[in-house]
Amino acid sequence: MSPKKISDLPTTTEQQLWSSVAERLRDGPLQALVALYFKAMTVAKEIETQPSDRVQQLGDLVRLAEAATARFQEFTTEVKALINELAAQQRKAK
Compute the distance between CA of residue 64 and CA of residue 51 in angstroms, rounded to an integer: 20
In a domain, 2, yes or no: no
The torsion angle over the Cα atoms of residues 34, 2, 86 and 18, rounded to 10 degrees, is: -60
In a domain, 73, yes or no: yes
Domain count, the chain: 1
Q: Is 4 helix (H, G, I), strand (E, B) or coil?
A: coil
For 41-70, b where at least 16 C-beta lie within 10 A, e where not — what string? eebeeeeeeeeeeeeebeeebeebeeebee
In a domain, 69, yes or no: yes
pTM score, whole prediction: 0.71
In the predicted structure, residue 31 carries a pLDDT above the cut 80: yes
In a domain, 45, yes or no: yes
Question: What pLDDT digit, counting tens, does each position of 47-85 carry?
Answer: 888 888 888 889 999 999 999 999 999 999 999 998 888
In a domain, 72, yes or no: yes
What's the pLDDT at 1?
Answer: 47
In a domain, 44, yes or no: yes
What's the pLDDT at 85?
Answer: 86
Domain hosting 89: range is: 17-93
Question: What pLDDT digit, counting tens, does each position of 4-25 carry?
Answer: 555 555 556 777 888 888 899 9
